[in-house]
Amino acid sequence: MGLEAVVNEIREKGRKEVEATRAETRAEVDAILRDAQERAAGIKVSAQEEADRAATHIINQETSAANLVVKRQVLNAQKTLLDQVYSASLAAVGSLPAEFQEKALTELLKRAAKVIKKGVVHANERDLPMVEAIISRQRTLSGYTVGDPVEIAGGVIVESNDGELQIDYSYRTFLDEVWESDLKDASDILFT
């Protein structure tokens, strides 16, 4: 075997070793790349799931907060409307015809006379002349005198002469009683 044959054999052996090393390196590189791609895909999926969870959580929080704001605004609007209904009711009762006012004041004074025999009767400025006329006509009310006008929509406030006892038969008092006992019914009627 000649030198050239030995050199060719060494070259061939070197070339085979280089190809084997290259193939082995390529296989290792491919395995490393596949592993990296799998880990990257796993990280991407995990990050996407975490982002989706965070987004869902934020959306739920914002939705809850918005619902609370809307509910508060609705309740405030309902309260405003109920306050308007209350004021309108009080004004309507106070502005009923004079014949109604006279009958109502007479009945209220008779009720008060059962508790306070002698006292001072207060009414609004508009009703004072009517109260004076009722007291002068009714014998059972002879212990009453007419006092200063008060700021009420209607009705009377009777105070004993010694100031120890006071009965509030103003329309506001009666409306408050009805309002408190029937507010839920009124609310249901107005807002359903």
CATH number at 96-191: 3.30.2320.30
Please give the Cα distance from 171 to 68 (Å, whole number).
37
pLDDT digits (tens, 9 = 90+) for 116-173: 999 999 999 999 999 999 999 989 999 999 999 999 999 999 999 998 999 999 999 9
Q: What is the pTM of this model?
A: 0.62
Contact, 175 vs 93, CB < 8 A?
yes
Is the Cβ–Cβ distance between 104 and 155 less than 8 Å? yes
Quote the tokens at residue 53: 């969870």
Say if residues 110 and 83 touch (Cβ distance below 8 Å): no
As a whole number, mean pLDDT of residues 48-73 equals 92
Q: For 162, how many CA atoms within 13 A lie in the half-sphere containing its CB?
A: 4
d(CA 156, CA 169): 5
Report the Cα 26 to chain-centroid distance in Å: 69
pLDDT on residue 75: 83
8 Å CB contact between 165 and 115: yes
Q: Where are the domains of the chain?
A: 96-191
Q: How far is CA 41 from CA 33, 48, 54, 102, in A?
A: 12, 10, 20, 89
Residues 190, 183: Cα–Cα separation, whole Å = 10
1 pLDDT higher than 60: no
